[in-house]
Each structure stands twice: as structure tokens, then as C-alpha cells.
């Protein structure tokens, strides 16, 4: 367990997190955890946490940090994450979330920050919004 990788990846939208996550999972065999996917899984499984998250989402409200932390803690406690290690994508997003993670005893062994110049991010985002054949947004 001492060499089990616990990785957090952060970066702006279009910074390449998805691509890097795929490469990290392939190289190290860790479990890729997106907070959005974890939320949806809890809702689908109709857990108590999922029901609370669904209430917030149905009301168009942000899911509170404490609920997100509990969902992440629940996911990271599962056997696959304990044995293979994990790659946390999209969390924490704020200082408060990072502090709550630390308080919950969730510690990363590695932190990857993807820094991409703004002009490249804008270019990539525009590319995501445009139809490659018509050029329409």
C-alpha cells in the first residue's frame, strides 16, 4: 500500500486533463475518479448521499462541499482505489475543498498541475465549439 499512487490532477478547461488522465491510468493502473462521475454514480445507486446530491442538482443548486467530500471519501474507500491507487480529476476546486480533504485525511502522493497559456486554452475551447466541417459555432 505504501507505493500505491494517490494522484490529483488540476488545470483549466481544455488544458489536457482528459488526455493526461488516460495516459496516467494506462501507465500506473490507478482508478480514474471524476467528481461528476462519482456524483452521478451515487445518484444512480440511490444512496443517501446520492439522494441529497440529487435534491441540489434538481433545484439547480451547487452540491455543497461537505456532500462532495463525503462522496469522494466514499469512493476512495472502495477496494479498487485502496489496492490500485487513484487519480482524482476535478477535485478539489477551491481552497475550502482542499482544506476539507486534508481534514478528512485524504492525502495525495502526487499533484499534477497543467499550465497552458491562455491563448492556447481559448483556441482549444473555440475548437470544441466549432463544427469542423461547417465552421459554425
Domain map (residue ranges) of the chain: 6-129
pLDDT of residue 43 exceeding 90, the answer is yes
Q: Which three cell numbers stand for residue 39?
A: 456524483
pLDDT of residue 47 exceeding 70, the answer is yes
Give the residue among 79, 59, 55 at the shortest CA–CA distance from 67. Answer: 55
Q: How much of the chain exceeds pLDDT 70, in percent? A: 91
Q: Which three cell numbers stand for residue 78?
A: 472502495
Query: What is the reported pLDDT for 135?
Result: 61
- Strands annotated E in 14-125: 31-34, 86-89, 110-114
Q: Which CATH number is 6-129's, of 1.10.10.10, 3.40.50.300, 3.30.390.30, 1.10.3720.10?
A: 3.40.50.300
Residues paired with residue 6 on neighbouring β-strands, in sequence order: 86
Query: What is the reported pLDDT for 48?
Result: 94
Give the residue among 48, 57, 89, 58 at the shortest CA–CA distance from 72. Answer: 89
pLDDT of residue 23 exceeding 80, the answer is yes
Evaluate whether 26 touches 84 at the Cβ level (below 8 Å): no
pLDDT per position as a tens digit, 59-107? 999 999 889 999 999 999 999 999 999 999 988 988 888 998 899 888 9
Query: What is the reported pLDDT for 136?
Result: 63
pLDDT of residue 21 exceeding 90, the answer is yes
Query: What is the reported pLDDT for 94?
Result: 85
Query: What is the reported pLDDT for 128?
Result: 67
Q: Which three cell numbers stand for residue 124?
A: 482549444
pLDDT of residue 37 exceeding 80, the answer is yes
- Strands annotated E in 31-89: 31-34, 86-89
Phi, psi of 59 (to 5 degrees): -85, -5
Evaluate whether 110 touches 5 at the Cβ level (below 8 Å): yes
Amino acid at each position: 500500500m505504501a507505493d500505491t499512487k494517490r494522484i490529483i490532477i488540476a488545470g483549466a478547461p481544455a488544458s489536457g486533463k482528459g488526455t493526461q488522465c488516460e495516459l496516467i491510468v494506462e501507465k500506473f493502473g490507478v482508478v480514474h475518479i471524476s467528481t461528476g462521475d462519482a456524483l452521478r454514480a451515487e445518484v444512480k445507486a440511490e444512496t443517501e448521499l446520492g439522494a441529497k446530491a440529487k435534491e441540489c442538482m434538481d433545484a439547480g443548486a451547487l452540491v455543497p462541499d461537505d456532500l462532495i467530500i463525503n462522496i469522494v471519501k466514499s469512493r476512495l474507500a472502495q477496494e479498487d482505489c485502496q489496492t490500485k491507487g487513484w487519480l482524482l480529476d476535478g477535485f478539489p476546486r477551491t481552497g475550502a475543498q482542499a482544506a476539507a480533504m486534508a481534514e478528512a485525511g485524504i492525502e495525495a502522493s502526487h499533484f499534477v498541475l497543467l499550465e497552458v497559456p491562455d491563448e492556447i486554452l481559448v483556441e482549444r475551447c473555440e475548437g470544441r465549439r466549432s463544427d469542423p466541417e461547417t465552421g459554425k459555432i
